[in-house]
Amino acid sequence: MATAVSAPGKVLLAGGYTVLDASCRGLVFALDARIHCITTTTSSADGGQQGAIVVRSPQFEDAVWHYRATDLGPGRGVDVVQTNSDADPNHFILTTLKYVLSYLALPAIPALALTVLAANSYYSQPPPPLPRFNALAVPIKSANKTGLGSSAALVTSLTASLIHHLSSSDSSTLQRTLHNLAQAAHCAAQGKVGSGFDVAAATYGSCEYQRFPPSVLSAIPEPGSPTFVETLTATVNSQWDMTVSPVRLPAGINLVMGDVQCGSSTPGMVKTVLAWRKDAASSGGEDLWRRLDTRNRTLMTTISQLSSGDTTITPTARDQLASNINDIRETVRELGTNAGVEIEPASQTKLLDAAMAVEGVIGGVVPGAGGYDAVCILYLNQGDTGDKVRAFLEGYKLDNGFVKPLEAGQENEGVKKEDLGAYSDVLHYFDGGLV
- Give the residue from 220, 251, 256 showing the smallest Cα distance to 238: 220
**pLDDT reported for residue 265:** 57
- Identify any residues that bridge with 8 across adjacent strands, giving them in sequence order: 34
**pLDDT reported for residue 266:** 59
201 and 340 belong to one structural domain: no
- Give the residue from 144, 148, 145, 124 showing the smallest Cα distance to 134: 124
227 and 348 belong to one structural domain: no
> Mean pLDDT, to the nearest integer, of 198-212?
99
**pLDDT reported for residue 264:** 55
pTM (two decimals): 0.96
71 and 130 belong to one structural domain: yes
Instruction: Please tell me which residue, 308 or 54, carries the higher pLDDT value.
Output: 54
**pLDDT reported for residue 170:** 73
> Mean pLDDT, to the nearest integer, of 261-279?
82
55 and 187 belong to one structural domain: yes
305 and 271 belong to one structural domain: yes
CATH of the domain at 65: 3.30.230.10
Evaluate whether residue 434 is within a structural domain: no
**pLDDT reported for residue 373:** 80
Are 78 and 70 a contacting pair, CB within 8 Å? Answer: yes
* Cis amide linkage into residue 129, ω under 30° from 0: yes
Type of residue at 396: Y
Residue 65: count of CB within 10 angstroms of its CB: 23
Helices in 248-363 by DSSP H: which ranges? 269-279, 285-307, 315-339, 346-355
* Per-residue pLDDT at 115 exceeds 70: yes
164 and 300 belong to one structural domain: no
Residue 433: count of CB within 10 angstroms of its CB: 9
Evaluate whether residue 222 is within a structural domain: yes
73 and 188 belong to one structural domain: yes
**pLDDT reported for residue 1:** 81
Evaluate whether residue 340 is within a structural domain: yes
> Mean pLDDT, to the nearest integer, of 277-295?
94
DSSP single-letter state for residue 351: H
Q: For the chain, how many helices (H) and strands (E)?
A: 11, 14
237 and 259 belong to one structural domain: no
> Mean pLDDT, to the nearest integer, of 88-101?
98
Evaluate whether residue 235 is within a structural domain: yes
Determine the angle formed by the axes of helices 228-237 and 174-190, rounding to 10 degrees: 130
* Per-residue pLDDT at 406 exceeds 80: yes
Residues 6+ apart with CB under 8 A from 75: 226, 227, 228, 229, 230
Domain of 264, in residue numbers: 249-409
Evaluate whether residue 369 is within a structural domain: yes
DSSP single-letter state for residue 66: E
* Per-residue pLDDT at 340 exceeds 60: yes
Evaluate whether residue 46 is within a structural domain: yes
Are 98 and 184 a contacting pair, CB within 8 Å? Answer: no
Residues 6+ apart with CB under 8 A from 368: 11, 12, 16, 147
- Give the residue from 164, 123, 113 showing the smallest Cα distance to 5: 164
218 and 240 belong to one structural domain: yes
226 and 257 belong to one structural domain: no
pLDDT-above-90 percentage for the chain? 85
Q: How many domains does the chain have?
A: 2
Residues 6+ apart with CB under 8 A from 206: 28, 29, 30, 246, 247, 248, 249, 410, 411, 412
Are 53 and 235 a contacting pair, CB within 8 Å? Answer: no
Evaluate whether residue 435 is within a structural domain: no
**pLDDT reported for residue 9:** 98
Evaluate whether residue 132 is within a structural domain: yes
CATH of the domain at 339: 3.30.70.890
Please state, in angstroms and rounded to a whole number, the distance separating the CA atoms of residues 154 and 148. Answer: 11
Sign of the C-alpha dihedral, residues 8, 11, 15, 18? positive
* Per-residue pLDDT at 84 exceeds 90: yes
Are 130 and 13 a contacting pair, CB within 8 Å? Answer: no
* Per-residue pLDDT at 45 exceeds 70: no
pLDDT-above-70 percentage for the chain? 96
Q: What are the tens digits of pLDDT across the range 310-329? A: 667 999 999 999 999 999 99
* Per-residue pLDDT at 363 exceeds 90: yes
- Give the residue from 24, 29, 17 showing the smallest Cα distance to 297: 24
Are 193 and 22 a contacting pair, CB within 8 Å? Answer: no
- Give the residue from 369, 319, 368, 373 showing the smallest Cα distance to 351: 373
How many CA atoms, within 13 angstroms, populate the side-chain half-sphere of residue 349?
A: 13
**pLDDT reported for residue 226:** 98
164 and 282 belong to one structural domain: no
> Mean pLDDT, to the nearest integer, of 333-347?
96
Please state, in angstroms and rounded to a whole number, the distance separating the CA atoms of residues 256 and 137. Answer: 27
236 and 273 belong to one structural domain: no
